[in-house]
Structure 1
Amino acid sequence: MASLTTLSKEDLEDLHSSLWNIYKQEQTKDLHLNMSRGKPSAEQLDLSVELLQFPKSYTLADGTDARNYGVLQGIGECRRLFGDLLDIPAGQIIMGGNASLNLMFDTLAFLFLFGTERKKPWADERAQGRPVKFLCPVPGYDRHFTICEELGVEMIPVPLLSDGPDMDLVTRLVKEDEQIKGIWCVPLHSNPQGVCYSDKTVDTLASMTTAADDFRIFWDNAYGVHHIYEEVPLKNILKACEKAGYPNRCYYFFSTSKITFPGAGVSLIASSPDNVKELLGHMSAQTISHDKLNQLRHVQFFGTSENIHNHMTKLAALLKPKFDIVLQKLQDGLGASPPVASWSHPKGGYFVSLNVFPGCAKRTVALAKEAGVTLTGAGASYPYGKDPKDSNIRIAPSYPSVGELSQAMDILILCVKLAYIENKLGIQPK
């Protein structure tokens, strides 16, 4: 097929009529295909079923009975396991419950309630008419934006480039505005574009001058070991901050949500010794300890960080065919028609970022839904759900079967074409 951008008005009208007939046929199939979130498939979850047989014993190396109260920071065995995996000292890690999102929310809430390093609580500043602001690389993770909205944080979008956020813009903004208190970062295989931060980006984030002396990096390394096509190294942000003279600047988050069982894994927050002490002080009023048996379960199931990497290799083998389908379908269906659509080519993670012709994302998603394919809402990857170009769509290939995914992609590509032609011809949605 010739590029859609080269067709005459008459040809576009004829093509729209033809594609619409195909679309109506798809609607009659009563499909229920879901690519709305990055959920592991049943096959992925099956790789961790043996985890449920643990723990085999309950006594920790130091003699503590893991079935009882205590050990707020998390059992040493678990902190050492993930410390070895992520190159973080065990003493700088706090093990949480099943969700790193919970730790992110609590940490931001603590800053609002109590401040940090004896500085004014962020809520006090807001009460005095000084808004708390966060930089949000876009496209980005919608849950980060939801946390900010819930706590009343003003979000400032920053373009995400091929090696991380636009650091020229970031460094200028944080230097000029003392109300910019932090930045969200998904530094490896970012959600949804699959961007991996360069060493230069990490060093700049760690060392940049900020007007706010309590500026914080929320480092959500959710896909730190989720390599599919290529293993990408990531510079250690905690070490970079310490070297730059800002040891307390970063909070590092990680979880096993997409490694073992979502909702039943373990999570962690890591930071400087001072920050860990401060966080534990707040947590001690909140809980006696997180689930030590689940921590021990993961320790006994994996044993070593090498075994975690081996497990991730098995997961990658399940994910790769699905990513292959998405990328090949996009190339076959839309590759001849730039700028009708462009897309990311991630090396790992859970998503493919699709950019359709400006003004067409919402219509594409709506068409897909009416044909039985559920996608993440258009605009979700931007603060307040407002994509200024109405262009970005997040594709989550992990959950559907290969057959369902292939079918869903055919419908999605059909909808991309229909939305584009409607846009060019000024056709109002039916």
Structure 2
Amino acid sequence: MRAAGGTLMSSTESAKPSKLPPFDASDPLGIDDLLGPDDLAIRDTVRTWAADRVLPHIAEWYEKGELPGIRGLARELGALGALGMSLDGYGCAGASAVQYGLACLELEAADSGIRSLVSVQGSLAMYAIHRFGSEEQKLRWLPAMASGEIIGCFGLTEPDHGSDPAGMRTYAKRDGEDWILTGRKMWITNGSVAGVAVVWAQTDEGADGRGIRGFVVPTDTPGFSAPEIHHKWSLRASVTSELVMDEVRLPADAVLPDASGLRGPLSCLSHARYGIVWGSMGAARASFESALDYARGREQFGRPIGGFQLTQAKLADMAVELHKGILLAHHLGRRMDAGGLRPEQVSFGKLNNVREAIEICRTSRTILGANGISLEYPVMRHATNLESVLTYEGTVEMHQLVLGKALTGLDAFR
């Protein structure tokens, strides 16, 4: 368009606000401007719930290594619509991927164990049934899982097979119309409190991993047990268990009919990893905010330590990585909502965001000094939790190799 006096002025220039908004230290890039009213409402609802129900107790739960009242918490999360929230139908909220990600961020800002409870319930156990199950399986399990009345778990990792699930030893053999399931799974979130387990096992229906099938196992089935794992120094406010299947007899309709081979469990993992991309930034944000608040108030040499150049350099670097990570999560969420998110892109997000989140926690600890190791502050709790998040659902090395294969076209896994 042509301005007065004949000079050229772009439409962008004409639309510029007369006054810039103030700088917001909690949202320095203005990422909230990318969110709609429903997105913000869901985020704020989950944040308020976590502040009321988790934050006043989480240090005690973590110190004791327990998550008391987990069944009640699951029902509350179900009432919020947070369980299986990105799934449609069967009592699920049908939220967008971005909205689910925002919920994961707020839950992990409270504690990784709480986000893990939601991720395993919705993105692994419920997602497996929703995507690969029969209509009868969906109707039987999903409504009660969405409400939190039934907790689910997901059995893939074994004592000797973590990054290489194709080598799993859990085995299911036919016995007439039934299946007999035998084996062990390890490091299973929600295992000891679950009413249903999605368990993956080898069968005789294919070779080289193609015979892997998923089974929906009611945990009260004879031969099934889930002893809880204790003495953890990470994810202490989380129920972690071993699953033991000792000739568990299952009917023919316990099989997930639309899943065969590793495609089934790996697609579930990809969905859960997406939540981690967001959730890890919640842990990082909580640690960064704790360090920033501490730096503003803690005085040394006659003034707040936040006024010293080295401290400001740490805060600036952490803010850059934190909000870059949130932008990355948001971008991946929009791609998922559009149906264009590839597993390699999820690996990109999980690799970057968890790695940077741990570094933010460690740097935050240095700003807090000795106070950083106290449970009066969230920093060390988040740092130790993220050590588990770094490993589960794909180690750093596995995601590096996923990206390496995508970039080069060469498979370095074997």
TM-score normalised according to structure 1 size: 0.23
Of structures 1 and 2, the one with the larger relative CO (CA 8 A, separation 6+) is: 1
TM-score normalised according to structure 2 size: 0.24
